[in-house]
Amino acid sequence: MRPSSRPANLGIDPARLMGRIEALGRIGALPGGGVSRLALSEADRQGRDCVAGWMRGLGLAVTVDRIGNVFGLRAGAEAGPPVVIGSHIDTVATGGLYDGALGVLAGLEVVNVLNDAAIRTRRPLAVAFFTNEEGARFAPDMMGSGVLSGHLGLAEALAAVGIDGATVGDELARIGYAGDAPVGAIAAHCYLELHIEQGPVLDAGGIAIGAVTGVQGICWTEYRFQGQTNHAGTTPMAMRHDAGYVAARVAVEARRLAGEIGGVQVATVGRLAVAPGLVNVVPGEALLTADLRNTDAATLAAADERLRAFAAQAAAAEGVGFEARPLARFAPVAFDPELVALVEETARGLGHSVRRMPSGAGHDAQMFAPHCPAAMIFVPSRGGISHNVTEHTDPAQLSAGAEVLLRVALEKAGVV
């Protein structure tokens, strides 16, 4: 799609964008730095009120749906599904200022620019933030966009019990965001999400913009091994059934397998535990989790099966029982190729270095992708750090991403 003519001197206001980011960052601020706005908490409510207030101040028509997603609609010359710019404002318990907030507030900055320039778009434009993207207080993550898209049932989501025992339904009502707008179907012309990378690739490469091609599929499996607890001194090596040894072999194999598969394949053993855990006792039980990800579903499934087969063989060789339990399975999501190309060309046209890359983390965009063209724009995360109070992206980098977002959104919405 060739970028059409549009006002050449349009530009975002970096200070205004940072001003809103910092203002929202004061809501739920932690003493040492960083933010805690767990989904549907008091801080989340205050954050919602703040952003909804900005929406109204920008003349957007604000609606709240039944899972608490908030939309601010800017009418276009024509009726029809809007270009949606979205992300989330809830955070993890020790979060930063940018994860989610950037995409929402850059959307408000886009609206602000259009208002200031008195630009009327052909299609409507909406800025949205979705309930409980993080999944830190209530599982699963991407709950609001999941319910909106029909991926997750509303009743099931409302019944979800949080880490503190409260339910989503009760908390939504308590904070006054149990809205009326229907859920279960996406009505969008396309979806755009600006987000920090949460990884080290752009930062390490000195690259300004990531044109995100899709989201990695995820495969989480828990392995449990049952061997025989024994005395570390009196049990000959040949007579052992060491569950911990087998788990260690599987952990080493996960790394080797990722290397052999190559490409974007990642493999992580995040949990590894043995019991009874005494220095002089051969471990009779062990547990590990394997987190495998790839953008190709078949490759991912094959990796999972190969690791499982290895675990079975290693367990058998040691006379140890094992069971593999799937913890989570998310299919890879590919973003719309034309939209991805538009992001890339737009970044280049603005003079920014840009790189195509998959997202290793889940985002609201993946809930939209099956229903309408969707794409994401990444900006660097310093040191790749995320979900951490020290999460940081330079103001200039944030603005560069917002500039790309503005132009892509305008291209998709069309100017009258």
Residues that bind a copy of itself (CB under 8 A): 197-201, 204, 216, 218, 220, 222, 230-237, 239, 242, 244-245, 247-249, 251-252, 255, 258-259, 265-274, 277-283, 286, 289, 291, 293, 327, 359-362, 384, 386-387
CB of residue 385 to a copy of itself, shortest distance in Å: 8
d(CA 230, CA 233): 9
Torsional class of 165: left (φ above 0), alpha (ψ -120 to 50), beta (otherwise): left
**Closer by beta carbon to a copy of itself, 206 or else 270:** 270
152 contacts 133 by C-beta, under 8 angstroms: no
Task: Indicate the residue among 123 and 240 with the shorter CB distance to a copy of itself.
Answer: 240
In the complex, least distance from residue 361 CB atom to a copy of itself, rounded to whole angstroms: 5
Closest distance of CB 182 from a copy of itself, Å: 32
Which one, 200 or 414, has the nearer CB to a copy of itself?
Answer: 200
Indicate the residue among 363 and 412 with the shorter CB distance to a copy of itself.
Answer: 363
CA 409 to each of CA 112, 161, 206, 366, 377: distance values in angstroms, whole numbers, following the listed order: 13, 37, 25, 18, 12
Q: How far is the CB of 381 from a copy of itself (least distance, A)?
A: 8
Q: Looking at beta carbons only, is 94 or 167 nearer to a copy of itself?
A: 94
Q: Closer to a copy of itself at the Cβ: 186 or 269? A: 269
Tell me, letter by letter, the H, E, C secondary structure of 121-175.
ECCCEEEEECCCCCCCCCCCCCHHHHHHHCCCCHHHHHHCECCCCCEHHHHHHHH
- Shortest distance, CB of residue 136 to a copy of itself, whole angstroms? 11
Residue type at position 382: R
Between 9 and 234, CB nearer to a copy of itself: 234
User: Hey, what long-range contacts does 170-176 have (CB within 8 A, 24 or more apart)?
Assistant: 171/39, 171/40, 171/41, 172/40, 172/67, 172/68, 172/131, 174/40, 175/40, 175/42, 175/44, 175/45, 175/48, 176/45
Residue placing its CB nearer to a copy of itself in the complex, 314 or 415: 314
User: Residue 55 and residue 111: Cα distance in Å, rounded?
Assistant: 9
Please, what is the minimum distance in Å from the beta carbon of residue 343 to a copy of itself?
18
Q: How far is the CB of 53 from a copy of itself (least distance, A)?
A: 32
CB of 199 to a copy of itself, least distance (A): 3
Burial degree of 281 (CB within 10 A; 0-12, 13-18, 19+)? middle
